[in-house]
Amino acid sequence: MVALAFMAASPASAQVTTRYTNTSDSATGFINENNTPCSNPYTRTFTVGSNYTISDVNIGVLLAHTYRGDLLMWLVSPSGTRIQLASGDGAGADNYNVLFDDSAASAISSYTANATATAGTTVPPYAATYRPASVLSGFNGQSSAGTWTLEICDRFNGDSGTFYQADLYLTSTATNYADLSLNKTLLTSNPTSGSSATFRLTVTNAATSPQTATGIEVRDMLPTGFSFTGSNGSYNSSTGIWSVGSLAPGASASIDITGTVNASAGGSFTNTAEIVSSSVPDIDSTPDNGVTSEDDYASATLTVSGTRTAGVPPTLTCPAGFILFDWDLAANDWAAGTTSNNYTLGAIGQIQFLMQNPGTWLNNASVGGQSPTRQAVVHGATFENSVLQLVDLPDRSSVVTTTITLPAIMRGAQFRIFDVDYANNQFADRMEVEGRYQGATVIPILTNGVSNYVVGNQAFGDAASNNDSADGNITVTFNAPIDTIIIRYGNHSLAPTNPGQQGIAIHDINFCRPTTSITAIKSSSVISDPVTAITGGTPKAIPGATVRYCLLFTNTGDTAAVNISASDALPGDLTYTAGTLKSGTSCSTAAQAEDDDSSGADESDPHGAASTGTVVTASATSLAAGATYAVTFEMTVD
């Protein structure tokens, strides 16, 4: 009998499988109804000297016997547990060349083909693998040490056989693991919109774990609709990581994470978390693999309590005033069926609307004809025009995407979307709105109507609303700079898998006008004086000295500035030197000559400058964000 040990794959990567072999052949034809009846079976033993806890058992048998259905086989552990391997399987087929394994795809009863089994047959590997008549997992948890016995008996007359070899495979229970589990609960009963709520996370290292786990981390990225306000542990709300530290077997650690509910009544969201790091393997799960069925993954759902009423949108405050994009203006028509249109937004520039639909744009005469279209049937109780999107989407996950590209960086925006609602077995509207500011995502505030609820920057229809009712309205408010608005329209989980006709309408957009910031720096240097012109040295500001001044203007904002004008009152103890005005992009490179008057082509090339002798003025038709321009001139000390 030979014992061989090797590592076996396992969840904890810590199990060892040892092979014990018995190659003592029986006499030729010895296994028959006379020599090995079931009252006195033929036996082969395996002596196991090492003592460890068993987590898996397999056994392979190489045996020649005509009509193998005559044979019954058992495996007996040192503790006396007796498990049947074969129960007269294979009927008239000959020989056993088989590995018994609980994880095999087929049961031993389906082992019906002849097998090769001779004194010269090399095993392992065995020619076939089958599940035994009874599960070998009955040995799991037992001690390995002692004598294991293979029993074989022949119950019918007429056929005989010869035993050649058997291999017993015992797998030890892993020892370098920690069985970690995660639980999440919502501690707050009946949370309402705007109230505080608390989730509790608990990590446990099972008492049966053989190891202490260190470096444990849990990731809990808080969902949209829940704004973090604090925790009682080492939680980083930016990364979502809770640094748990170490847990001995049987120990637990908990953290309470508190936040504000930013969802309207009836809304719900799920908070999920997973163990993402540990110093030792986990016996039954893998950290950070996203498998929700493992016990290192946990979730809890919060449903917002209260009676829903239409929300009150925040006030849009605009330091430089408003500019309205109004669908009621004749110039802002939308040709029915078109999906891309540009419009003039005052003197600021062109605003572009681009709509992309993976489904079908519908044509319905009762709401303006071919969609998309400008109409006033779906008006959200405003009786004003809006652009309708009437669609048939191919599935619940598809969305219509509307991208609104703005002519400049606006300091904020506010608009309504009409008819965000629900129809049973037809559709369940879902809106998601976000902005962009120089490539970065900007999240707006969404305000719900009666027929929908809001979670973060998404709105979900869950009740019906008429086309002319305000119940289906939502209000979108950006209180931060944006250069793009993106609207995604589709369905949520209440919709059928193949939704039917559905529609929403985008109303007027009120923008905060662009603003920017210009800084001005005045500097001076003495470039000559009457004394050092003769003696040399550093010029001083003495009578007769020439002083060069520079006015440097920088656009420190994010938007181009236009029609810039600045003036500088000259000091009374110096005299302006006519004809010395120059302009450029910096003090050191200002070389463009500017005459002293304030007219002519030199005033817009692209900068201008003029002097009255007591005041210098500087101007520019435009200055890009981050750009500079400078004006230099000279004066003589009186």
- 365-416 pLDDT, tens digit per residue, is 999 999 999 999 999 999 999 999 999 999 999 999 999 999 999 999 999 9
Q: Where in the chain is the domain with CATH 2.60.120.260?
A: 2-172
pLDDT for 172 equals 86
pLDDT for 72 equals 97
Find out if CATH 2.60.40.740 is the number for domain 518-637: yes
Give the right CATH number for 2-172 from 3.40.1160.10, 3.40.50.12500, 2.30.30.90, 2.60.120.260.
2.60.120.260
34, 35, 37, 42: CA torsion to nearest 10:
-170
Find out if CATH 1.20.1630 is the number for domain 322-512: no
pLDDT for 68 equals 93
> Are 169 and 18 contacting, i.e. CB atoms less than 8 angstroms apart?
yes
Residue 532 has what DSSP assignment?
Answer: H
| Cα separation, 504 vs 433, whole angstroms | 13
First to last CA, the chain: 116
| Cα separation, 45 vs 62, whole angstroms | 15
Q: For 79-127, write each residue's pLDDT tens digit.
A: 999 999 999 987 789 999 999 999 999 999 999 999 999 999 999 999 9
pLDDT for 353 equals 99
CB neighbourhood size of 251 (10 A): 15
Q: Which segments of the chain have a pLDDT < 50? A: 1-13
> Amino acid identity, residue 294?
E
> Are 235 and 242 contacting, i.e. CB atoms less than 8 angstroms apart?
yes
Q: Where in the chain is the domain with CATH 2.60.40.740?
A: 180-303, 518-637
**Residue 601 backbone phi and psi in degrees, to 5:** -65, -25
pLDDT for 38 equals 95
State pTM to two decimals.
Answer: 0.68
pLDDT for 56 equals 94
| Cα separation, 598 vs 25, whole angstroms | 117
pLDDT for 600 equals 66
What is the Cβ-side half-sphere exposure of residue 296, based on CA atoms within 13 angstroms?
24
Q: Which residues pair with 29 in a beta bridge?
A: none
pLDDT for 607 equals 84
Q: Topology of 180-303 in CATH?
A: Immunoglobulin-like (2.60.40)
pLDDT for 14 equals 53
Nearest Cα residue to 540 out of 552, 551, 528, 554: 528
